[in-house]
Amino acid sequence: MMYPRFSSAWILVFVLFFTFAACENEFYEDDFAPIETPDNGGDDDFGDDDFDDDDDDDNDGSGAGNNGEISVELSGDGGIAVYRAFDRQLSLVEKEDRGDAWMQDPRKHEEMWDFVTDMIPNERLRHLYAFEVFDGDNGLAGYVYNLTDNLQDWMFALDIRQAYPDESTMSKDGEFVHTLIHEYGHILSLNDEQLDPNAGNCQNYDTGEGCAFETSYIDEFYERFWEDIADEHAGTEGDPDANYDFYLKYQDRFWSDYSATNPAEDFAEVLTYFVALDQEPTGNSIKDRKIQMLYEYPELRDLRDRMRGASTLTMPASGRFAAPKCRHAQRKGVELLNR
């Protein structure tokens, strides 16, 4: 099985810390009307010529090419196609015949990417270096990870099954949207503008990917909402049952059980509800105060408004997206584990 190449130092990081989210494709009780989209026309036959392949003289897909490109590879966990992203455009690096035939359609991959770039403002796309489409038949719905040790360039991966639950029309108001926002929340809070990956003696919150700057979202989030329970939480790491008991004990602090995984997953879940809920919560519970914290940042309020105003997004009548039930996942060495 093929996996992205990491240095031994980063493999150690993956052993100790969750670096991406994995979500099972199950709904909570929220129900939404199906979204109808116009037929894009054309026939359904496609082949290699439909993919814009950059696997040529510049790069063989296995390492940096003549132009110094970052190495990008298809993951071994259901990966169907991996692309580099240049100025909102995709360029194919590698593909694999996996899953059902409809999953191979590059037009669906393009539509998924177009939705990502419509939801995320242009000036925030610079960290999204590569995009992978995979078959999440094992329950994985999405993940991100940094491709370089400077936290500037990230892989963004989404499950095509979740994107196309009926195999033809992309979901634009349900769990796929929840996954997209959640995964972007990791990039938003863990990139090079938020963390110092080379800090020696970290005096702020250490995420594992780097030391949080004092002005970062995740450091403020940790100080307000996690510092008082950090020692207790440390005793649950690597034990899903203990972590779930931890969630039940502090349920008024979290928007989902997956939020209790660690501060990074909690922040990503909070961002999702920050975008999805119609109004700022007015309660005094800790989970409400987490969303209220994000409203304190003008640039995050602007991000919320622009995500909610995306032309391709359909806001559900309930004012919140259907949330997938998430399960813990981590890279341990080069092996993907799910519970």
Per the structure block, which two tokens stand in for 278? 């119609």
Instruction: Give percent of the chain with pLDDT exceeding 90.
Output: 63
| pLDDT value at residue 21 | 39
| pLDDT value at residue 48 | 52
| Residue 328 or 248, more confident | 248
Nearest one of 324, 272, 329, 327 to 162, comparing CA atoms: 324
Is pLDDT above 50 for 71?
yes
> Within a domain: residue 204?
yes
Strand 195-196 relative to strand 326-327, pairing: unpaired
In whole numbers, what is the pLDDT of the chain averaged over residues? 79
pLDDT digits (tens, 9 = 90+) for 168-216: 999 987 889 999 999 999 999 999 999 999 988 999 999 999 999 999 9
> Within a domain: residue 139?
no
Is pLDDT above 70 for 34?
no
| Residue 152 or 50, more confident | 152
| Domain housing 291 | 195-338
> Within a domain: residue 282?
yes
> Within a domain: residue 96?
no
Count the domains in the chain: 1
Q: How confident is the model at residue 17 (pLDDT cuts 50, 70, 90)?
A: very low
> Within a domain: residue 310?
yes
Nearest one of 170, 55, 192, 42 to 118, comparing CA atoms: 170
Q: Euclidean distance between the first and final Cα of the chain, in Å?
A: 20
> Within a domain: residue 274?
yes
| pLDDT value at residue 19 | 37
Among 6-10, 82-86, 127-131, 314-318, where is mean pLDDT lowest? 6-10
Is pLDDT above 70 for 8?
no
C-beta of residue 272 within 8 angstroms of C-beta of residue 178: yes
Please indicate, yes or no, whether the overall pTM of this predicted structure exceeds 0.85.
no
Distance CA 292, CA 290 (A): 5
> Within a domain: residue 101?
no
**Mean pLDDT confidence for 111-124:** 94
> Within a domain: residue 211?
yes
C-beta of residue 213 within 8 angstroms of C-beta of residue 219: yes
Q: How confident is the model at residue 57 (pLDDT cuts 50, 70, 90)?
A: very low
| Residue 122 or 24, more confident | 122
Per the structure block, which two tokens stand in for 60? 């063989």
**Mean pLDDT confidence for 39-57:** 48
Q: HEC string of the chain? A: CCCCCCCHHHHHHHHHCCCCCEECCCCCCCCCCCCCCCCCCCCCCCCHHHCCECCCCCCCCCCCCCCCCCCCCCCCCCEEEEEEEECCEEEEEEECCCCCHHHHCHHHHHHHHHHHHHHCCHHHHHHEEEEEEECCCCCCCEEEEECCCCCCCEEEEEEHHHHCCCCCCCCCCCHHHHHHHHHHHHHHHHCCCCEECCCCCCCCCECCCCEECCCCHHHHHHHHHCHHHHHHHHCCCCCHHHHHHHHHHCHHHCCCHHHHHCHHHHHHHHHHHHHHCCCCCCCCCHHHHHHHHHHCCHHHHHHHHHHHCCCCCCCCCCCCCCCCCEECEEEECCEEEEC
Residue 49 CB burial class (10 angstroms; 0-12, 13-18, ≥19): exposed
| pLDDT value at residue 190 | 96
| pLDDT value at residue 332 | 28
**Mean pLDDT confidence for 85-102:** 92
pLDDT digits (tens, 9 = 90+) for 128-159: 999 999 999 888 999 999 999 899 999 999 99
Is pLDDT above 80 for 229?
yes
- Locus of tokens 């694999």: 96
What residues does 203 pair with on adjacent strands?
A: none
Instruction: Give percent of the chain with pLDDT exceeding 70.
Output: 71
Q: How confident is the model at residue 60 (pLDDT cuts 50, 70, 90)?
A: very low
Q: How confident is the model at residue 330 (pLDDT cuts 50, 70, 90)?
A: very low
